[in-house]
């Protein structure tokens, strides 16, 4: 799915990190975890994203499983990419 719109604003920055607000709209079959998570969880999604080198890590605070999100993102991954899900803790 091609990205049809992308814009961002740097909210704060220091030598170790940046806080960025970004808006990204995709066409059919969205590939991004934030869009798929928002679709299934709805308003109030709490999420943190961290990038180190060529690896992204998303942490989602949800009450339930991520299997539907994992399946939808996995179905639309570009060739050469992989997706791993880990549970950080129990409620």
Domain definitions of the chain by residue range: 3-75
pLDDT digits (tens, 9 = 90+) for 32-79: 788 888 888 888 888 888 888 888 888 888 887 788 888 988 888 888
Q: Which residue has better confidence, 4 or 74? A: 74
Read off the DSSP letter of residue 41: H
Structure pTM?
A: 0.61
Mean pLDDT of 21-26: 70
Task: Considering only CA atoms, give the Rg of the chain.
Answer: 14
Given a cut of 80, is residue 26 above it in pLDDT?
no
CA distance readout (Å), 15 to 6, 12, 18, 49, 61: 25, 11, 8, 17, 27
First to last CA, the chain: 34
């Amino acid at each position: 799915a091609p990205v049809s719109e992308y814009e961002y604003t740097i909210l704060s920055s220091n030598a170790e990190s940046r806080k960025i607000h970004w808006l990204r709209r995709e066409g059919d079959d969205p590939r991004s975890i934030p869009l798929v998570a928002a679709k299934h969880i709805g308003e109030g999604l709490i999420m943190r994203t961290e990038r180190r080198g060529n690896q992204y890590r998303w942490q989602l605070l949800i009450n339930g499983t991520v299997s539907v999100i994992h399946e939808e993102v996995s179905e639309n991954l570009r060739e050469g990419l992989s997706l791993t899900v880990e549970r950080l803790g129990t409620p």
